[in-house]
Copies of this chain bind each other. A is one copy, B any other.
């Protein structure tokens, strides 16, 4: 079964999305991520989408839902690495990433999470 790797860095978890998400993979990721937030006592989640050329409503909703799940488990989610074309498309399509903060790259995402933690 396919899994997207979740990397632990201190009290943060890092997920890099590189492959096309489909229903089952998205559910597996949400299962894995929520399990790891609890197991690793994570306070933040970084989702890197720099490999994605397209973010459609399915992926957008998946990211929003994942962030909502993380928030209930007391972890904050930051979306990093969004390509300019994706930002343009999101606005043009009227898609909002509800409840998700964004940062330019992983480094800025980490500092955002650490700044707000203190």
Contacts and interface: CB of A to CB of B under 8 A. Distances in A.
Nearest to A10: B107
Contact of A106 (B4, B9, B48): B9
Given A16-B16, A16-B18, A110 B5 contact: no
Nearest to A80: B7
A51 B3 contact: yes
A50 B5 contact: yes
Given A7-B105, A106-B7, A19 B19 contact: yes
State how many copies of this chain the complex holds: 2
Nearest to A6: B50
A10 to B, nearest CB: 7
Interface in A1-41: 3-5, 7-10, 14, 16, 18-19
B48 A5 contact: yes
